[in-house]
Structure 1
């Protein structure tokens, strides 16, 4: 939708989110043997996206939400990502 309507306002936020996601993946190295890294990565990606997109919208004057609503949206995005990380993490097998 971003490219269809030629509205590139959010493009920098999306690029920075992608770069931070790549950096977080390299730093955390999530794998089946590192369950905490998978959970942290799954929570940080949507939280980063929401923070950057909502900040961009607030700075451009499009977003008129209160601080508590923005904080709640970011928190719920992080919790949803964390729960999805728990749900789709392969169960560790004991040797």
Structure 2
């Protein structure tokens, strides 16, 4: 099993989520996060003054999936979250040693 963590632009969440569900991958956890990478931050105008925002709002999608599904899921996320600009996000993949259901 693998854990996939994808950090993407918030405005791309619905598009990515819909495509994952359509592909049969419905189980996910979504968290609002903030961070920076190569984008470094953005300058906004507020009441005539420039404000530097160095931690950009992002969304983190977490999924634990079978090994055979990893490449398809990564492909869906990359395809639906891509804009071609800095700040599109990152996808991380980790090994999962075990998973235990709380319900059972």
TM-score greater than 0.5 by the shorter chain: no
Structure number having the greater strand percentage: 2
Structure with greater contact order relative to length (CA < 8 Å, sep ≥ 6): 2
Structure number having the greater helix percentage: 1
